[in-house]
Amino acid sequence: MNKNNYALIMAGGIGSRFWPVSRAEFPKQFIDFFGVGKTLIQSTYDRFLQICPPENIFIITNEIYVDIIKKQLPNLGHHQILAEPVMRNTAPCIAYGSMKIAKLNPNAVIVVAPSDHTIGNQEGFVEAINQSIEAASHNKCLVTLGIKPNRPDTGYGYIQYADDVLNTDPSIHKVKTFTEKPNLELAKSFLQSGDFLWNAGIFIWSAKAINKAFEKHLPEMHEIFQQGNSFYNTTNEVAFIANAYLQCTNISIDFAIMEKADNVYVLPSDFGWSDLGTWASIYEMAEKDYVGNAVIPSEQVMMYDSSNCMVNVPKNKLVILQGLHNYIVAESNNILLICPRSEEQNVKNITADVKANFGNKYT
């Protein structure tokens, strides 16, 4: 296994669309949604053990989740957990992680990935990542993975790719455009065109290439984190980062770098990917009974004249449902949510209303 391979796993989100199961104090990346014995972040970590030496896997998260990560990933060294003092989106966390890793190994090639995705085909994922690492290590480029779409989904961003390909790998294409979540008609046209992919939010680049991209396209942020070169991987790192983050703008890596850089390439991929952004994505991946009900866990749930429901309730609770069709039923943390599946996009708005009425007690 190449010692220059590194992973930076982002684990700072709060997963508000999975409320009430996912809450700010214990969000979705730390939950075993499918009852498989591993949380999402544990599954992500295990995938990267096939790509990087364990000492080269870093987790970046909000400081309030550090203890949870230590408990769920006990083999991590303290220096492998990067604690953000405030939430500032993905650009600052990638700038921080990339410079910290570059200080350890200037020849590092870094895979940046969210902690809360699921992968159906593990071998296909590892193959795509290794192919991208090979490309990034021999070219001054920024590589992202694009997922071949099978439906006109309005919940994902899209990547349009050009005919131009990487000299060393003709299956990796130059990126033409990035598009944020489109409306349904636009998503249908993307699917029909054949040159659009879902944006998986997984990036592969050398430490040198990404730091150079920050220097060119986001120089203020580059300068902020460059000032920490004498502090990274020392006892002074935490104090430096606490001050650095207060100076950072809230901006995503897509807006800050990927949409501006002219050396961005995409590898069209298909390995059973889901970003688990909503209850619909859990429903899609979960096992279902003969009338389409996905019940997790299923030991004490009884359903009568009900179909196509997504049910997630505590193990120790007996639940009887009758006459429900196409509903989400989710209970956790002394909160019960019953919502039509067609209205699940309102869950985020509901949590905002709950916070306005009851404070942080239930969010």
What confidence score (pLDDT) does residue 211 get? 97
What confidence score (pLDDT) does residue 298 get? 75
What CATH class is the domain 5-274? alpha beta
Q: Using one digit for the tens of pLDDT, what is the confidence trace for 46-105?
A: 999 999 999 999 999 999 999 999 999 999 999 999 999 999 999 999 999 999 999 999
Read off the pLDDT band of 296 (50, 70, 90): confident
What confidence score (pLDDT) does residue 360 get? 86
Residues of the chain with CATH 3.90.550.10: 5-274
pLDDT over 80 at 215, yes or no: yes
Minimum mean pLDDT range among 192-201, 220-229, 346-355: 346-355
What confidence score (pLDDT) does residue 269 get? 96
Question: Which contacts (CB < 8 Å, 24+ apart) does range 231-235 have?
Answer: 232/99, 232/100, 232/103, 232/104, 233/79, 233/100, 233/103, 233/104
Segment 135-150 shows an average pLDDT of 95
Return the CA Rg of the chain. Answer: 21
Helix (H, G, I), strand (E, B) or coil at 235: coil
What confidence score (pLDDT) does residue 353 get? 94
Q: Which of 270, 275, 294 is nearest to 113 (CA)?
A: 275
Longest dimension (CA), the chain: 65
pLDDT over 90 at 176, yes or no: yes
What confidence score (pLDDT) does residue 346 get? 85
Read off the pLDDT band of 123 (50, 70, 90): very high
Minimum mean pLDDT range among 115-124, 165-174, 232-241, 277-286: 277-286
Q: Using one digit for the tens of pLDDT, what is the confidence trace for 153-174?
A: 888 899 999 999 999 999 999 9
Read off the pLDDT band of 33 (50, 70, 90): confident
Q: How far is CA 291 from CA 299, 329, 340, in A?
A: 17, 16, 17
- The whole-angstrom separation of Cα 356 and Cα 249 is 26
What confidence score (pLDDT) does residue 71 get? 98
Task: Please report, rounded to a whole number, the percentage of residues in the chain having pLDDT higher than 70.
Answer: 100
pLDDT over 90 at 347, yes or no: no
Q: What is the pTM of this model?
A: 0.93
